Amino acid sequence: MFRQKDTIPTRVGFGEGLKTLGKKYNNIIALGADITKSVNLNTFAEQFPQRFFSFGISEQNIVGVAAGLALGGKIPFFSTYGVFAAIRTTDQIRISVCYNNLPVKIGGAHAGISVGADGATHQALEDIAIMRVLPNMTILSPCDATQTKLATIASVEQVKGPVYIRFGREAVPDFTPNNLNFIVGKGQELIQGNDVTIISTGHLTWEAIIAAEKLKHQKINARVINIHTIKPIDKNIIIKAAKETNAIVTAEEHQIIGGLGSAVAEITSKNFPVPIEFIGMNDKFGESGTPNQLLTKYKMKSKNIITAVKQVLKRKNTFAKK
């Protein structure tokens, strides 16, 4: 069983990663949108006040400024709630950033249903889908605080163009080794298994691990793959899992339509079709509540992954007989 080191919000990892980059590169600039501390830009702002600028609630303007800074040789980071960072600013990101393939790094904070009491207007459940269709955009969706720090550093050191980094507000189990060799575009096989594959991203990776451990007691060996890079996605690890387990469950704190599940289905349908079940938001808006209440209500917990595994195994057996 994976051991959690602590329980830490993934936004803390973003702040730590940005601070590390700031120490290493003088051309790193941070741009805030009125919620500096909430998205952990404050750690950078306190250490590098000359390289931090707060614009207030003007997200579209910030993207334009970030594009200008990038054209001038800087590497700007812009962060706010994912619903504003990815959705309110889509036009500016598409034309000013992606069309020019500029090194603007976007922190999509407070993503998913687990942002909790802020409710539907502030729960980013469509951001992966929107960012995924933009040419030149890289999407990172790390599973815990340590991996978020590594992903933030990799967004500069491994990717020349624009990057969208997705992370959350609430504290979640932190289990990634500090010395992990984080490679953009490479998935992680966390648990071996040949009966079924659970492919997860973000916060639901821990739920996938719990589900796999419980399934072992029921004589079901589930492979768990963490996809921390949604785009470019690791096709090889997914095709290999499809061929070796012949059944997949995807798990994401995002709309099922257009997210990780859709990406996995696109790959398997073209290369090696297998039955797939999807865990995620099923074409609904969220509501206010505690993170656990919402994850439970919208069926994104380990018990729901286990149910989906059993459903896909039934389909696997039927599929095999045809």
The residues annotated with a catalytic role in the active site are 59
Tell me how far apart the alpha carbons of residues 164 and 129 are, in angstroms, rounded to a whole number: 12
Torsion of the alpha carbons at 218, 3, 141 and 82, rounded to the nearest 10? 110
Could you tell me the sign of the dihedral formed by the alpha carbons of 136, 54, 37, 178, in that order?
positive
- In 3D space, the residue among 272, 297, 9, 261 whose CA is nearest the CA of residue 144 turns out to be 9
Tell me how far apart the alpha carbons of residues 307 and 322 are, in angstroms, rounded to a whole number: 24
Q: What secondary structure does DSSP assign to 233-285, as a single string?
A: --HHHHHHHHHHHS-EEEEEEEESTTSHHHHHHHHHHHH----EEEEEE-S--
What are 146's two structure tokens? 């340590």
Identify any residues that bridge with 249 across adjacent strands, giving them in sequence order. Answer: 198, 277
Helix 10-24 to helix 145-157 angle (10° resolution) is: 40
